[in-house]
Amino acid sequence: MVTAALLLIGSISIAMPSKSSRKISKLRIDAKMLGCKISSNLYGKNKFKNKNSFDVSYQIKNVTTLKEGHFIRDKNKFILYSPVKLKYLDHFSDIERMLSDMPESVNEIIFSNISISFLWKESDGINALETILEKLNDLKNL
């Protein structure tokens, strides 16, 4: 009888999400409301170079004039990973300056024709995400 009760309690506690799981779940729902698409990096093509424990990437629609570019955080600033030809744009220093204002929780950003994908530390919360989205949106003014 005691074994059955322990088995029942154990299986119920395993099925219940933890406090951190609920927090991440709420954050991802809020992120979707802000227009982010969240996708897994565990399967399929992963263009990110960061090998840290980021299992999801966030995407937003690219409304900037920057239609290709891959930036990786190195210490406290972003460096251009590819394509090198971006360094020769007249306004590249403006792009670098705007990316340097990005919260430290962002580790990598990829610009494509359709979207901007980025990796960030979700544990920093929705306020950090709102700041990231605002900074990326500011790039459209270049």
Reported as a single tens digit per residue, the pLDDT across 25-77 is 899 999 999 999 998 776 556 677 765 666 789 999 999 989 999 999 988 88
In-domain check, residue 4: no
Domain-located, residue 77: yes
pLDDT of 10 above 80: no
Range of the domain at 130: 19-141
In the chain, pLDDT over 70 holds for what percent of residues? 82
In a domain, 24, yes or no: yes
> Is the model's pLDDT at 5 over the cut of 80?
no
Residue 10 lies in a domain: no
pLDDT tens across 122-133, in order?
Answer: 989 999 999 999
Q: Average of pLDDT values for 78-104?
A: 91
C-alpha distances (whole Å) from 14 to each of 1, 4, 17, 18 are 20, 15, 8, 9
Calculate the average pLDDT of the chain. 86
pLDDT of residue 20: 79
Number of domains within the chain: 1
User: Is residue 93 scored above 80 in pLDDT?
Assistant: yes
The answer to the question of residue 6 being in a domain is no
How many degrees, rounded to 5, is the angle at CA 139 between CA 108 and CA 40? 35
Residue 132, domain member (yes or no): yes
- Backbone φ, ψ for residue 46 (5° rounding): -120, 110
Residue 46 lies in a domain: yes
52 belongs to a structural domain: yes
Instruction: Supply the pTM of this predicted model.
Output: 0.82
